[in-house]
Amino acid sequence: MRQHYWDIRSLGVEFVALANEEPDNHAELRERLDLPFQLLADPDSELARALHIYHENEPAGRLIARPAMFLIDSHANGNTILWEHVSPTSRHRVEPSRIMEELMTALGFRIQVVNVIVPSSGELEHRIAALQHPPLGLHKTPQEVQPGVLVQRDFMRQLTMAAHAEVHRLAADGWRLKAVSTEYEGARPVGQRYVFARTLDEVTNMS
């Protein structure tokens, strides 16, 4: 979400994140990941339970909420939940382009533009290699692999597949592909940015 935060803020929408962590942990996490948005703490999962996103089947002592997104109207409009997406598991994430789509529709934007960033295969391998030093390679035994690395590797691959699927979803839903460009982090190419556009008139005609 860091790459798309300013897209959301440009619409006049405030973005905050909530996690089952103590406030002190959030300060370290926000600095380490250079997060531009506010992190709120829900250490006892009170809000997660109220929103019905708590993992009820987790082992005792693990306070884990499923990844979820809520679009909430202003206090003046009753704090109404305009849209929500609750992931079935901790590995599933809603694509930022879908969030922007729902935001612009809720705000009545007639012309809508969204971006999808698809990591390249080289960038995916770069991220996986960064999880362990030396990198996993092809000949690591289970004893040599650091805890959590294999899970994170599969998670990253799943996110990349989800980005590819989002490109196909937008095309199938009638969005027009306007541009494709190389995405960079500094001087390093990391993937492709797909830009899609549509108008609300087109949506009305399709429905």
- 84: part of which helix (H) or strand (E)? strand 81-86
Residue ranges per structural domain of the chain = 1-94, 110-207
pLDDT at 63: 66
pLDDT at 135: 59
Nearest CA-CA partner of 9 in 37, 33, 34, 40: 37
Before 88, cis peptide (omega within 30)? no
CATH fold for domain 1-94: Glutaredoxin (3.40.30)
Least confident of 135-139, 142-146, 149-153: 135-139
Residue 142: which pLDDT band, with cuts at 50, 70 and 90?
low
Average pLDDT for residues 72-83, to the nearest whole number? 90
- Please tell me the pTM assigned to this model: 0.79
- Return the HEC string of 99-135: HHHHHHHHCCCCEEEEEEEEECHHHHHHHHHCCCCCC
Average pLDDT for residues 181-198, to the nearest whole number? 94
Q: Is the pLDDT of residue 102 over 90?
A: yes
Nearest CA-CA partner of 182 in 170, 169, 195: 195
